[in-house]
Amino acid sequence: MSRSGWWMVTLLVLLGVGLIGFSLQAQSRRSSRSAQRIAERTRSGLQEKIPEAIETLRQDYDQFAEQYLTAGFRSQLSGRMSPDEQQRFAKVLELFAEAPVAVSPDGTDAISSCEISSEAAAELEPPKPVEPITAAGTAASVPGYGNDAKAAIRQMIAALEAREFASFIRHTYPLAELELLEDADQLELQAEYYSGNPELTALLVADLRKMLALEPKLESDTAKDLALYKVPTELPANAKPYSSIPNDRLVILENVAGHWRFHDGNAEVRQEMKKQRAGVRGEGEILLYWSRTEDGWRIDQIPFF
């Protein structure tokens, strides 16, 4: 090849490298701009969700919970809210109506933030938790299913299958939670939650039937008599291929004043959650956490709840 030919080849190679480098830089800039546009659309979309969520909450709580809350957060809220709690939830959401939103780099989480005064925070704090009532004197005042664990479980199943949900709650719920429901006039709302969720009721009945075939591990200390059941779980029929096998569920019954009830394992958790959900005590910032699920963006945590 002639000297001019080699120079031509070299020139073409250099031009090619330069063009490739320029192309990669341009592509990188386009990708960066595209990511910025996606993040901006996400921020705008989440801000628009707030007034929509408030309107839905005021019209239909169940629809609101399904469309705007993660499954984990719905479980944390323990059933249907009372009208007063729904109103308090809406007031907290209103604080974030125009709040800035920060989206995580991978686009799976986001945080809305806003400033709040100590006076506003005090008005939005949750009701004070009810301290557990003592076992003394409860046998006559609080109904139960008796001292025989298997017989108690059978009566639990019978109450659920007969759709006697309010009676089931009175006979089985931990006393602190039962008193809290009654003081807030939420017991019937909780019963309606069971009525409106037959899948949940069926799952609970299935677990109770499994417990009848199990020998519990009994534990006793100076304050509590517990029966621990390790309930086996199976993959649901509609599980996706390669789904991980769920862990066995631990169900604990506690003998309170001669009656087997569900164990109040949330006493310490309630105290910790009270600290976390109480928002701020002085001037400060509060945060609303979003999570992107298979069904879209959902609220995963909100202050004061």
pLDDT at 177 over 90: no
Q: Each residue of 203-222: b (16+ CB within 10 Å) or e? A: ebbebbebbeeeebeeeeee
Distance CA 25, CA 18 (A): 10
| Inter-residue contact 168 to 213 (CB < 8 Å) | no
Q: What is the pLDDT at residue 260?
A: 93
Number of CB atoms found within 10 A of residue 149's CB: 18
| Inter-residue contact 70 to 299 (CB < 8 Å) | yes
Specify the 3-state DSSP secondary structure of 138: helix
Q: Each residue of 233-256: b (16+ CB within 10 Å) or e? A: eeeeeeeeeeeeeeeeeebbbbbb
Residue ranges of domains in the chain: 40-126+290-301, 138-235+244-269
CA atoms within 13 A on the CB side of 189: 19
pLDDT tens digits, residue range 88-111?
A: 999 999 999 989 998 888 788 899
Q: What is the pLDDT at residue 55?
A: 95
Distance CA 84, CA 91 (A): 11
Number of CB atoms found within 10 A of residue 301's CB: 18
Distance CA 203, CA 160 (A): 11
Distance CA 18, CA 22 (A): 6
Distance CA 31, CA 37 (A): 10
Q: What is the pLDDT at residue 26?
A: 47
Please tell me which of 75-89, 121-135, 150-164, 206-220 the model is most confident about, judged by mean pLDDT: 150-164
Distance CA 88, CA 94 (A): 10
* Confidence at 241, pLDDT banded by 50, 70, 90: low
Q: Which helix (H) or strand (E) holds 219?
A: strand 217-220
165-172 helix and 149-161 helix, angle to the nearest 10 degrees: 160
pLDDT tens digits, residue range 246-300?
A: 567 888 899 888 899 998 766 554 454 444 444 443 347 889 999 988 889 999 9
Number of CB atoms found within 10 A of residue 299's CB: 25
Distance CA 87, CA 282 (A): 23
Give the single-character DSSP code of 99.
-
Q: Scanning the structure block, which residue is given the tokens 């990669």?
A: 24
Q: What is the pLDDT at residue 60?
A: 92
Q: Which of 305, 262, 263 shows the shortest CA–CA distance to 287?
A: 305
| Inter-residue contact 206 to 198 (CB < 8 Å) | no
> Span 207-235, mean pLDDT?
83
